[in-house]
Structure 1
Amino acid sequence: MLLVLNDHVFKGSGVIPSVLTGKLSDFAGMIVAPVVLCALFRIRSRPGTIVAYAAVGILFSALNTIPALADAFTHWLALIGIPFRIWSDPSDLVALPALAIAYALFGSRPSTAPAWWIPKVNTAVAAIACVASSPWPSVSPATVAQNQVLMEHHAGVVFVLDAPSGTMVRSFRASITDRLPPAIHDRILYQVQPQGRITGIHIDNPQEPFEVWKHPEQSARIRIRAVDAFRLYVAGPEDRLYAIDRVFGSLRWTLPIDTCRLQDLTITDDTLIVTDGPRCRSVDARTGRVLWEYLAPNTVGAATIHREHVYIASSDGILWGLDVSSGRQRWRYDGGADACDSYHPSVFAQDNSVFACFDGQTRAISVQDRSVTWKQQGQPVAIAPSLLLLQSSNDTLHGVLTTTGKIAWTTRFDESVSARPVIWQSLAFVRDDEGRLFALDLRSGTKRWNFLWPDDATSSASGTSLVVTTP
């Protein structure tokens, strides 16, 4: 129960600091893991129980003190279809005493064979608790680099495809990016490595990776949140955003953030819009100076910049238009219903309309008078010239005309789609939850091509680089 509450209630709520929620997960995991292990293997003898509890403790200690082992274990899990990210952090060893508590509660008592249904129920409940702490990640979105599109296999292989045709150009090893799209600029792919390191690799010559930056703490959990022409923006473990010079690898500035509630960053020219929790801040990307801050009553999603306004929507269904220079509120729209999922941009803008989702329905709102010009079921997930992509169910996308709200086309997939589409010229690149990449024609919604990695992709790319022929 603690594991479920921690991951679904406490994390990101602001009730408990993020440093404590991480440790709560470790403590709860030390109690749940040996119980699940004993149930799965039907271990009922005292010697067997002691071995199971000791194995959990030894593995937990090794993964948190040996980064190379954690990386290898991550790769092995991915190979058997369990994409995951394990970070070595010696401070997590404070959770080891929880093993003794678990043994005292569940492992020290003599066990007789229970009714057949009890272990199944116990295992199911424990598995649900484990999943609460260790969610199965959806696939990461694709990334376009010039006329090529990159997609990432959950086992740590990047495929480079020709964008117009879907022909495979090459594949090479890379680190897993935690459902974030690959960070790439000027055809250099930036990756988070063990021990708080960031490396770069040129996608045309992936045999020679180079180190870009290293966090002072080797066990630091860092994530690349964005990249532009000059800087990498990296979220650190101590609630800070780091701006790293992309060329020289030097630290340019840091910014305090709420890491758990940090949304997608919005970059335009030399301005960075940061939303975390109820805050929306405009930051000078060159110096890290906060130009203005707007505090909303509730949590806001990622921002969208259009013309002279920054648009944000809060979780309780309020849409704001802020002056991009001063942060002053220019207008406000009350949706009268809760906003849709706001992790990825929930607000889009084009011409004289703002598109936002309230209670599962997208509305086109006039910038001039805030009137609603049309409504359509579904949540906006991407925008192209004159076309808004809406997702009305897990496996269905619609192309909707931005001027009238008329559905131009509807495309259904065999699997759910959770990664946001990426627009490139007349194509939308969409990945389903099986990892297959589709290229949709934006004019008709037809699937121009699709690509799923070969069955032997992880083994054939075991070297640093591999040129693969077109399937």
Structure 2
Amino acid sequence: MAVEGDFDSWHMHSARHLIQNLTLYSNWQNTSGYNVYIHLLSLENYTGTEFERYWRGLPTKANIKNEIVNFLNQTFSGENPAYTIRVFYYIGHTTTQPISNGLRYGIQAALQAQGYSPIWDDELDALLHPSTGPLSNSNSTIVILDSCYSGGYIQNLTDPGTVVLTAACPTQKANGWLNVSTQCLMPGSWGWFTGHMNACYSNQTSFGPLGIIGAIRNETDYDNNGWGTANEIFRFAYRTTVRYSLGQYQITRTESKPTSVQRPQRGYGVAGGAIPLVQYNSSASFPGIPRPLQTPVKDVESKFSKTEALPTAKPAWPIFGQNPAHHGFSEGIGPAVNTLTWSYDLRFRATSSPATSLEGIAFAANEEGRLYALDVRNGEYIWDIELNATVFASPAFSDGIVYAGTLMGGNPSGRFYAINAYTGEPYWMFEFPSDTEAFASPTVAGEVVYAATVGPSGSIMGVYAFNKFNGALRWFYPTLAPVYSSPAVADGIVFFATNWDGSNMAYIYALNESTGDEIWQYPLGETLILSSPTVANGRLYIGIFGGISSQPQILALNEFTGNFEWSFLTSGPVSSSPSIDIAENHLIAASDDGIVYALNAENGDEQWTSPIGPVNMSSPAISNNSLVYIGSLDGRLYCLNETNGTILWDYLTGGQVISSPALTQENVLFTSTDGNLYCIGPEFPIHDVAVIDVAVNQTVISLADIVQVNYTLANLGNREETFQISLCYTTTEIWMPPTYGDPVVLYSYNITLQPGQSLTLTYNFNVSTVSANQFTIVIVASNMQREDNPNNNRYIDGSIKVSGVGGRRGSIPVLT
């Protein structure tokens, strides 16, 4: 369902442009088993045009409500509601209305004077999420709003099962081209966020694909499954809209009203926002409907945000060792106390290490062979899949796909799976040769995923390089001995080690990343190798378990030649993999007897040692605030000071911690053989700054009076917030179409509030600076990098009348 309204009293045509581009693709053509129904409300009369078959009349409030109730919320012949995708698209005005805790937002296709009443966000929420009908339990509703201040709708409209994509943040106008003569901007009347297949700037400089239409015509498909999903389309539309508006700003900044940098916003009520929308490859199978999130992600930025990066739940831990080189280091701030955020019962013993995605999904597997996807913020279940054999290693995530290898279980061999990270539906599967299985964690680098196998002597085992999207085998390097080590990738080279199996010696190998050709090998002799290599600063580091011809140690080789650089003898076997803090020059490793080591990464000199419980396979994770996390067979996760090795805390589970920990922005995740996935650290961030009250001491004043404005600010979130407060006045209705006038700023300053803190302040306003007989006080909070509830960032007080006439005098505002 599409609605076209006005921009500045000019009829927009973006809905018809979007329909034109969507219907170029097979799933929008009523072919191949996909049934499509399109209704369009527009100020344009499409009678006698190609759009007549879609047009249902003018976009009045009554017509919009009628179409949602009697079209969007209906089931048609042959339709399976579980697989139906419902889209509500709107371009036009947004009007606002002051309420007690901020503003409410309303879609209003044309002006009130023309008989067009707004549909407020709470009304629209009730229409799109009714108590009955298909919309009441839809897991795949997409709402697209190309209008001013449209980010303000995210708070109310992002329900479980709904994805909301908006053109701008709650305090920002959306832009579009109206009556244009420049050829590359034709046909005109289109919004930047909805976009264009090949846009240019106003000075006719070429830009290229822009916005949603640009994403569709560019066939944006980050996971390469033949479909464009809502999150993939938004990712492209966000980046191009920001870049385009920034470029246009550079062109218009000398004008009296330059274009601002427009920042689209999103709210995801399904896993990853991955609702399928466009089938680029007509033979591609339907990827499935993502599970709804009971706690939706509402990602709203300030229009003053300095970064151009797409908002995400950074940093993530997508693969074993955090990155392809296995540094085991996170830019996040690790938890300094052992507070349990949440735990999730995986229903069976777990030794697999967790992984997390940028979108905030945690992946973990149990030894029964079930892989789970959970919301990293609260442990909420998203999906699970049965892989029919034990998963020992960490899953890996990349571009919307999660990878996992299995042991044989009751099968002839192990298998390697690529699974849709948002729905749990398999993309492809590779069955290893007979009697071989995947013990090591997969590694993703670029468009390749690497998997290693183990097996009995004489079996076909080694390292595989697959195309990560379709599973095509790029190369295979066979080995005589099993590979328990997870491949590391750096500088165009793939590194791994084989394990002495009683017949074949252990080696470290370096292969050409593109071809799989051997570059060098380093003999280790009769020793077990369970550790995975770490590569940094031109060196490869690996733990040596020890055996007949080799002592337990940490070994460093030249990355490019394989030449020996140094070794450090440990007090016990090493099954754990080392991690590195490059900035501090620390290599952190552990031996199985429970000693954690900090070594100088350049020469192997010992910096400190710290005894914990015995270690089996668990590898250290280092946080950006110099904390080290590692698991132990005594059932504990330990946190150590990276500087001196002091144990800061431990967390006791009901089993052994063989898992390697994974770090997020402020938390650490790990599994235990008690069958639980644990998340330790503070509550995940809630950013909610509010202006909760404004009061003036008098409402009828003379020119000589000082108005005392008392206002209360509050931090309703759980993180310290520094933001800007602006005290303003307006003589007209603000943020209302068609002018969307901004208030006049009297005074601005920055303030910092702690979680839960509120503060009441007073401002003495000399009214002699106002050249009007009536005005309204407005308080605005802005400059937040993140804001979960933008609707309470502004407070508008009642009108103040000025009696008497005369000249105006300047004054200096005073904050008391």
User: Normalized against structure 1, the TM-score is what?
Assistant: 0.57
Whole-Å separation in 1 of the counterparts to 2:569 and 2:435:
41
Q: Residues 331 and 148 of structure 1: is their aligned pair in 2 closer, same or farther, counting only changes over 3 Å?
A: same
Report the Cα offset of residue 213 of structure 1: 4.3
Which ranges of structure 2 fall in alignment gaps of 5 or more residues? 1-347, 454-458, 500-505, 684-816
Distance 1:244 1:421, change over 3 A: same
**8 Å contact kept, 1:306–1:349:** no
1:231 is aligned to 2:465: no
- Paired residues, number: 302
Q: 1:383 corresponds to which residue?
A: 621
Deviations 1:268-314 (A, max 9, x none): 35322111133111222211012221223453432112222111232
Letter in 1 for 2:376: A
2:587 to 351, 354, 357: 354
Residues 143 and 415 of structure 1: is their aligned pair in 2 closer, same or farther, counting only changes over 3 Å? Answer: same
Paired position in structure 2 for 1:266: 488
Aligned to 1:99: none
| Pairing of 1:56-455 with structure 2 (within 5 A) | 138-146=350-358, 147-190=360-403, 198-207=416-425, 209-213=426-430, 219=434, 221-223=436-438, 225-228=441-444, 229-235=446-452, 237-268=459-490, 270-277=492-499, 278-299=506-527, 300=529, 301-314=531-544, 315=546, 316-335=551-570, 337-340=571-574, 342=575, 344-346=576-578, 348=580, 350=582, 351-358=584-591, 359-368=593-602, 370-378=604-612, 379=615, 381-385=619-623, 386-391=626-631, 393-441=633-681
State the distance in 2 between where 1:426 and 1:346 align.
22
Answer whether contact 1:282 1:291 (CA < 8 A) is retained: yes
Contact 1:213 1:250 in 2 (8 A): no
Aligned counterparts of 2:573 and 2:368: Cα–Cα separation in 1: 34
Equivalent residues of 1:399, 1:407 under 8 A apart: yes
Q: State how far apart, in whole Å, the 1-side matches of 2:513 and 2:682 are.
A: 33
Letter in 1 for 2:488: T
Letter of the structure 2 residue corresponding to residue 295 of structure 1: P
Distance 1:177 1:186, change over 3 A: farther
Distance 1:206-1:383 versus aligned 2 partners, 3 A rule: closer
How far the C-alpha of 1:396 sits from its partner, in A, is 1.8
Query: Cα gap change, 1:198/1:356 in structure 2, threshold over 3 Å: closer, same or farther?
Result: closer
**TM-score (norm. length: structure 2):** 0.34
Structure with the largest fraction of helix: 1
What letter corresponds to residue 184 of structure 1 in structure 2? Answer: F
- Who wins on radius of gyration, i.e. which is larger? 2
Give 1:345's aligned amino acid: S
Is the alpha carbon distance of 1:164 and 1:240 closer, same or farther for their aligned partners in structure 2, counting shifts above 3 Å? same
What is the CA deviation profile of residues 82-104 of structure 1, one whole-angstrom value per residue up to 9, with x for unaligned ones? Answer: xxxxxxxxxxxxxxxxxxxxxxx
Q: Helix, strand or coil for the counterpart of 2:532?
A: coil
Stretches of structure 1 lacking an aligned partner (at least 5 in a row): 1-135, 444-471
Structure 1 residues 163 and 258, CA, compared in 2 at 3 Å: closer, same or farther? farther
User: What is the SS of the residue equivalent to 2:620?
Assistant: strand
How far apart are the structure 2 equivalents of 1:153 and 1:287?
34
Using the alignment, how far apart are the partners of 2:594 and 2:371 within structure 1? Answer: 34
| Separation (CA, whole Å) in 1 of partners of 2:390 and 2:663 | 20
Counterpart amino acid of 1:249?
G
Task: Report the aligned-residue RMSD.
Answer: 3.1
User: How many angstroms apart in 1 are the aligned matches of 2:653 and 2:525?
Assistant: 38
Identity of aligned residues (%): 19
CA deviation after TM superposition for structure 1 residue 189, in Å? 3.0
Task: Work out the CA distance in 1 between the residues paired with 2:350 and 2:431.
Answer: 28
Give 3-state SS (helix, strand or coil) of 1:139's partner. Answer: coil
Partner amino acid, structure 1, of 2:428: E
- CA apart distance, 1:393: 4.5
